[in-house]
A and B are shown apart, each in its own frame.
Chain A
Amino acid sequence: MNLKAIALGLTVSLMSSGAYAACAFENDVPISSLSAGFEAWKSVTDAMAECGNFEAELDQEFRTKQPAAFAANPSLYDIGGVSNGTVTPLLNEGTIRPLDDLIAAHAPDIPDNLKIKIDGQTMAIAMMINTQHMMYRKDVLDEVGLSAPTTWEEVLTASAAIQEADLVDYPLGATMKSGWNLAQEFVNMYSGYGGAFYNDDSTPSVNNDAGVQALEMMKALTAYMDPEYLVSDSTYVQQQFQQGKIAMANLWASRGGAMDDEAESQVVGKVYAAAAPYATAGQPPATTMWWDGMVIAKNISDAEAEAAIKLIAEGLDTEMVTAANDDAIWLVEGYKPSRLAEGAIATVTADPAPASYPSTSQMGLMHTALGNELPAFFTGERDAAATLAAVEAAYITSAKEAGILN
Chain B
Amino acid sequence: MTTTPQGAPSASAPEATAPQSGSAVPVGAALALGDDALVLSHRLGEWAGHAPVLEEEVALANIALDLLGQARVLLSLVGDEDELAYLREERAFRNVQLVEQPNGDFAHTIARQLYFSTYQELLYGRLAAGDGPFAPLARKAVKEVAYHRDHAEQWTLRLGDGTEESHRRMQTALTALWRCTGELFEPVDGLGLDTAALHEGWLALVSRTVEQAGLTLPTGPRSDGWSAGAGRQGIHTEPFGRMLAEMQHLHRSHPGASW
- Chains A and B form a bound pair: no
